[in-house]
């Protein structure tokens, strides 16, 4: 049976080769007589799995030795509380760059724990469609030099806005302020200089594996400054000192994430995957830009390679578009409820053939309405 093309934003499509391997190992992992879901998280079998997963992720992202990789739970939404509890420090000052729905959600949560300052925002409250369509230029950023950290989202899953340049904090007058980035939806899609950040975090369910696993990559010097009220299970120092084993980690998602890391290496690593992602995004955006029926509001310079939101100029055709797409095996194209329209998520596991199938349908649907 031919599998449909799943354009869901997360939980999202996984590499078919990984799914087949999981199916083959479901009842008996490497002769252990156990499924990974059944084995002790402290047993030698799972310890081998998590150690290999961490080593492969560190290799893929070239994570420096002075950074810890933590396997946690709760997704990026939980980290919106866990991060200020760990990093806000004595002055509780947190700066934000607001570029989409997720940074807006993040800063609202951070206000529960500290003094939040929006250093720059691209929000256009008057826009009917696409309230976030750009990233403020660095000369518009108004950072506090004594902030505990600066929070940004590298790729806005809902709005389709992605950072391709990173701030020079010294040039912006805040050399000692660490940058914290939510990388949930573009992690491992392109090379990233980890050393430019104090902390990277993200839920795995978009570009790594199934829901339930949260990745945190944190610099050593930021480990030991948590609020005394922060629960031990959420203190980065505690999690790091216990090798992500202070409490039972999400074992099965870690196992699948490890298989995805191995799959990425087989593709040639992050650099090779980025080339494919660039080609996929160009194919889709070119088709949208050449159309009279579809429109993408995001500034071309910051259009996401992972999440492509678009709208039909005649929104009365939305339902017919989605019905036709499903009939052709193109699934989960409906846009987020907060913005409407359509959205195609084309993460690492989406092959070029899937994007081509979508482009073919876009043209077909438009021709039938001409």
What digits encode the pLDDT tens for the residues 114-137?
A: 999 999 999 999 998 999 999 999
Backbone φ and ψ of 260, nearest 5°: -65, -40
Q: What is the pLDDT of residue 228?
A: 92
Ordered by start, the domain boundaries in the chain are 18-266, 269-368
Q: Per the confidence metrics, is the pTM higher than 0.95? A: yes
Best CA proximity match to 368, nearest among 323, 329, 335: 323
Ranges of residues in the chain with a pLDDT under 50 are none
Q: What is the pLDDT of residue 90?
A: 78
Q: What is the pLDDT of residue 11?
A: 97
> Cβ neighbours of residue 209 under 8 Å, at least 6 residues apart?
14, 253, 254, 256, 257, 259, 260
Architecture per CATH, 269-368: Alpha-Beta Complex (3.90)
The number of beta carbons lying within 10 Å of the beta carbon of residue 212 is: 20
Determine the distance from the C-alpha atom of residue 183 to the mean position of all C-alpha atoms in its chain, rounded to a whole number: 4
Q: What is the pLDDT of residue 252?
A: 98
Q: What is the pLDDT of residue 130?
A: 93
Among the four given CATH numbers 3.40.50.1000, 3.40.640.10, 3.40.1010.20, 3.30.200.20, the one describing domain 18-266 = 3.40.640.10
Burial 22-48 (b: 16+ CB within 10 A, else e): beeeeeebeeeebebeebebeeebbee
Q: Tell me the pairing of strands 179-182 and 149-153.
A: parallel
Q: Which residues pair with 50 in a beta bridge?
A: none
Q: What is the pLDDT of residue 1?
A: 54
Same fold, 18-266 and 269-368: no
Active site residues per annotation:
102, 182, 206
Q: What CA dihedral angle connects 190, 196, 198 and 204, to 10 degrees? A: 0
Q: What is the pLDDT of residues 164-214, one digit of tens each?
A: 999 999 999 999 999 999 999 999 999 999 999 999 999 999 999 999 999
């Amino acid at each position: 049976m031919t599998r449909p093309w799943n354009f869901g934003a997360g939980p999202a499509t996984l590499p078919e080769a990984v799914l087949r391997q999981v199916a083959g190992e479901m009842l008996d992992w490497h002769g252990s007589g156990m499924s990974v879901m059944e084995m002790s998280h402290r047993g030698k079998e799972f310890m081998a799995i998590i150690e290999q997963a961490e080593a492969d992720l560190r290799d893929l992202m070239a994570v420096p030795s002075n950074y810890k990789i933590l396997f946690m739970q709760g997704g990026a939404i939980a980290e919106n509380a866990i991060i200020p509890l760990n990093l806000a420090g004595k002055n509780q000052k947190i700066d934000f760059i607001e570029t989409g729905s997720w940074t807006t959600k993040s800063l609202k949560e951070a206000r529960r724990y500290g003094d939040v300052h929006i250093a720059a925002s691209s929000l256009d409250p008057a826009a009917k469609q696409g309230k976030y369509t750009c990233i403020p230029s660095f000369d518009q950023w108004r950072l506090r030099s004594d902030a505990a950290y600066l929070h940004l989202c590298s790729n806005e899953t809902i709005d389709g806005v992605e950072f391709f340049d990173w701030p020079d904090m010294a040039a912006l007058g805040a050399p000692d302020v660490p940058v914290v980035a939510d990388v949930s939806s573009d992690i491992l899609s392109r090379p990233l200089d980890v050393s430019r950040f104090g902390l990277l975090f993200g839920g795995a369910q978009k570009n790594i594996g199934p829901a339930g696993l949260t990745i945190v990559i944190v610099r050593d010097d930021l480990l030991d400054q948590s609020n005394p009220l922060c629960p031990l299970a959420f203190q980065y120092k505690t999690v790091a000192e216990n090798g992500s084993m202070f409490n039972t980690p999400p074992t099965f998602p870690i196992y699948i994430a490890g298989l995805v890391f191995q799959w990425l290496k087989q593709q040639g690593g992050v650099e090779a995957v980025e080339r494919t992602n660039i080609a996929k995004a160009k194919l889709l955006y070119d088709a949208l830009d050449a159309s009279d029926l579809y429109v993408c509001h995001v500034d071309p310079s910051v259009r996401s390679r992972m999440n492509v939101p678009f709208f039909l100029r005649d929104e009365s055709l939305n339902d017919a578009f989605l019905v036709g797409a499903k009939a052709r095996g193109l699934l989960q194209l409906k846009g987020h409820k907060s913005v409407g329209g359509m959205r195609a998520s084309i993460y690492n596991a989406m092959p070029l053939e899937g994007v081509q199938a979508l482009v073919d349908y876009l043209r077909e649907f438009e021709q039938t309405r001409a």
